[in-house]
Amino acid sequence: MDFLRIHKALADETRLRLMSVLLCYELNVGELVAVFSMGQPRISRHLKILAEAGLVECRREGLWVFYHAARSGSSKEYLERNSSFFVTLAQHRLDTERAQAALHERAQATRRFFDSVAGAWRDLSREVLGDFDLAEELARRMHPGMIAVDLGCGTGELLDKMAESARQVIGVDSSPRMLELAASRLGSRNNISLRLGELEHLPLREGEAQAATLSLVLHHVSDPVAVLSEARRVLAPGGTLYVAEFDRHEFDAMRVKYGDARLGVDTETMYTWLRAAGFHPRRTDAYPVNQGLVVLIAEAALA
């Protein structure tokens, strides 16, 4: 570890403030500009110094770059040992409040997007999935008589399939318009419940479900581990989680057309998230679909 470079990098108030935020959140340059009310060149220069010192890492998603504190190696250990120091900074509370506001606005923008495309969502999905019936593939993995929850249920296509054999199915989504269309689609069946809520704070009791699905959802969220941790909370002992995701790709146009925050998720990253959230990955199956994309379906049990 290059202590001299690290301490030189931290010998600046702005860089200390940046580290205090990036220890807690992953943000892009535009969001950091808003948090600190500074110009982009200034923020980028400070990030470059922190990155060269090994204190900050970046994650590239097509044309976007997201920054976070080092998550491995000696730099991570250094930051963990000294994390309490950053909390003592005079502007830490205000900076973190602004960072939370930036993430909230990101989530709101996603919600507005899904509200706007809800009516056409089935057709948009078909453009990508083609003849592959993802809802049918996920539903057939469920055991009859289960209580199952679809997290990020959208317009209810998967709920419709799950309800055929489940004792009860629960659909959760943050888009009111998506849930309106789901309610219209599903009618008044007694074994279906629709709930409005955020995936990071689910409107379900602890251990309420025996199976949970996240179907093409994680590439839209800011904190996948937080979402997966909530899924774990609402699963009963012996419960199973099914996660469908696009494999990693470089089709950047999906950001605009489908509101994607990530260009897919590779199996290694998925397994890292699952383990961090308290799951034991069992298996992953791959299904080629349209536009050169591949859908992965990962199955995981409570660890």
Q: Domains in the chain, ordered, with CATH?
A: 3-90 (1.10.10.10), 121-302 (3.40.50.150)
pLDDT digits (tens, 9 = 90+) for 251-265: 888 877 777 888 999
Q: How many other CB atoms are found less than 10 A from the CB of residue 152? A: 22
Of 186-190, 247-251, 266-270, least confident by mean pLDDT is: 186-190
CA distance 131 to 261: 25
Quickly tell me which residue has 């995981």 as its tokens. 300
Q: Is the pLDDT of residue 121 over 90?
A: no
pLDDT digits (tens, 9 = 90+) for 231-243: 999 999 999 999 9
Report the b/e string of 58-88 with b at 16+ CB within 10 A. Answer: eeebeeeebbbbbeeeebeebbeeeeeebee
> What is the dihedral angle through the alpha carbons of 102, 195, 112, 294, rounded to the nearest 10 degrees?
90
pLDDT digits (tens, 9 = 90+) for 126-153: 888 999 999 999 999 999 999 999 999 9
How much of the chain, in percent, has pLDDT values that exceed 90? 71
Quickly tell me which residue has 């990530």 as its tokens. 262
pLDDT digits (tens, 9 = 90+) for 39-79: 999 999 999 999 999 999 998 877 788 999 998 888 888 88
